[in-house]
Amino acid sequence: MHTTPKKPAVKLTEVKITSNVEIAPSVFLLSFMRDFSFNAGQVLGITNDPSEDARLYSIASGENDPEISILYNIKPGGKLTPPLSHLIPGNSLWITAPFGSFAADNKPAYWIAAGTGIAPFLSMFLSGYGNDNILIHGGRAIESFYFSDKFIPALGSNYIRCSTVVSLNGIYHGRVTTYLENINDLPPDRKYYLCGSAEMVVDCREILLLKGIPFNNIVAEIYF
């Protein structure tokens, strides 16, 4: 009789939440103490029920920070994020070990994010990478530009916020893709890191390729 091999079990570790703060409407920053090392840009799996599959989230804290922070937004009807938003300090969460190759180095690069896709770039920034980098972040409302209080003083004009809704000084009125289309001098020897929805990543990658950026210089992380 033929049987289907069982999916290998993923090791989960229980942690206790130290904070779970709503930083913008329906967007939360959840934290717990760190007892492992990781590389900025990596992800880990999270679940509030060890019998359920863990969902992947980018780490949003620095490599030397005492806590691990995770940025997430509530998905209406979702299985994890609505109950996750109700957890309080002291509640349990189960996590996987960190993994992934979406990692920065000290070479100048472009960081391109949409929404909560800013998380791995915050991790890289807090870990000391990206002093000469250009960060392009797409969001809707002004409060969608999470952690701008950190990026603005450090990156100055190298921090570009793009919005189709907000029309203010210092914010580009349009999508991230439109901003990229209107740049004529993108350096082909830099790396371009993309983090966002599948649609955003595919559209940005296509624009970069059309502008002569080598495929191997485009590094992508997709969230769902």
Q: Express each pLDDT in 147-187 by its tens digit.
A: 999 999 999 999 999 998 877 878 999 999 999 999 988 99
Distance (Å, whole) CA 95 – CA 56: 9
Residue 67 and residue 134 share a domain: no
Residue 4 belongs to some domain of the structure: no
Report yes or no: 30 and 70 within 8 Å, Cβ to Cβ: yes
pLDDT above 50 for 120: yes
- pLDDT tens-digit map of 60-90: 999 999 999 999 999 988 899 999 999 999 9
Q: Choose the final residue of a domain: 47, 69, 95.
A: 95
Mean residue pLDDT of the chain comes to 92
- For residue 218, the enclosing domain spans 109-222
Residue 178 belongs to some domain of the structure: yes
Residue 197 and residue 167 share a domain: yes
pLDDT above 70 for 192: yes
Task: Give the model's pLDDT for residue 116.
Answer: 95
Residue 205 and residue 118 share a domain: yes
Residue 119 and residue 213 share a domain: yes
Task: Give the model's pLDDT for residue 5.
Answer: 39
Residue 33 belongs to some domain of the structure: yes
Instruction: Tell me which residue of 200, 14, 38, 48 sits closest to 120, measured CA to CA.
Output: 38
pLDDT above 50 for 4: no
Question: What is the tally of structural domains in the chain?
Answer: 2
Segment 195-215 shows an average pLDDT of 95
pTM of the model: 0.92
CB neighbour class for 168 (10 Å; exposed up to 12, middle 13-18, buried from 19) = exposed
Question: 9 falls in which pLDDT band (50, 70, 90)?
Answer: low
CATH of the domain at 42: 2.40.30.10
Q: Which two tokens stand for residue 6?
A: 């069982």
CATH of the domain at 210: 3.40.50.80
Residue 87 belongs to some domain of the structure: yes
List CB contacts of 81: < 8 A, sequence separation 6 or more: 72, 73, 74, 75
Residue 149 and residue 118 share a domain: yes
Task: Give me the percent of the chain exceeding a pLDDT of 70.
Answer: 96
Residue 174 belongs to some domain of the structure: yes
Residue 23 and residue 53 share a domain: yes
Residue 50 belongs to some domain of the structure: yes
List CB contacts of 38: < 8 A, sequence separation 6 or more: 44, 59, 63, 68, 98
Residue 122 belongs to some domain of the structure: yes
Rg (CA), the chain: 18
pLDDT above 50 for 117: yes
pLDDT above 80 for 194: yes
Residue 3 belongs to some domain of the structure: no
